[in-house]
A and B are shown apart, each in its own frame.
Chain A
């Protein structure tokens, strides 16, 4: 069966500090991978998606970046965090041997102070 891991679960960072969030998927190959952000009480905002190693599509211009160094690894980064970067960050996967529905990791709750 497929599983998706995200870490850390919670993170408190000062403004201007760097960020690295990691997501890995097990039990499938060549998945489509996604990063979303959810502000408190709001919907999911698509940040990045990737259909293969090294292929990243950015949906929202901002101070975040994403990388996919391996087939089942997706990393979200920032060089300098802003207060507005606070939120619930969710990694998801779809495709591989599955359908179009997305399966989400447990999320990282980021607070920027």
Chain B
């Protein structure tokens, strides 16, 4: 079966650092994606990891451990506009991607 787990909600303070974890068990793997989705809007692509390790892109970083079926998204210097849902997704072969239910992040002043 296909399973992606991530926390339902998280709260963090403006200017702080937050780490959103994701674990997965899938029948195939050709990469792990993170997307950001603001309320009422479509998801937008943030990052892609296919090899183990950390990928850094500005204030956002994403980590992957394929042997552990684990990834995290790290957001630094949090801003109010970072309040959104963050979706972990796994490419499972061919052209299919399975999405987790998302983590709603609330950034407070």
Contact = CB atoms under 8 A, between A and B. Distances in A.
Interface stretch (A13-21, A42-50, A65-73, A75-83): A42-50
A111 to B, nearest CB: 14
Contact of A32 (B30, B48, B95): B95
B54 to A, nearest CB: 18
Interface in B88-109: 89, 91, 95-102
Contact of B48 (A44, A100, A105): A100
Q: 3 tightest CB-CB pairs across the interface, nearest first? A: A43-B101, A104-B42, A44-B99
Contacts of B101: 42-43
10 contacts: A43-B99, A43-B100, A46-B99, A51-B95, A90-B42, A94-B95, A100-B91, A100-B95, A101-B48, A102-B97
A103 interface: yes
Contact of A49 (B31, B44, B95): B95
Interface in A24-41: 32, 36
Interface size class of B (residues with CB under 8 A): 20 to 34
B37 to A, nearest CB: 9
A32 B95 CA distance: 7
A59 B96 CA distance: 10
Nearest to A90: B42
A106 interface: yes
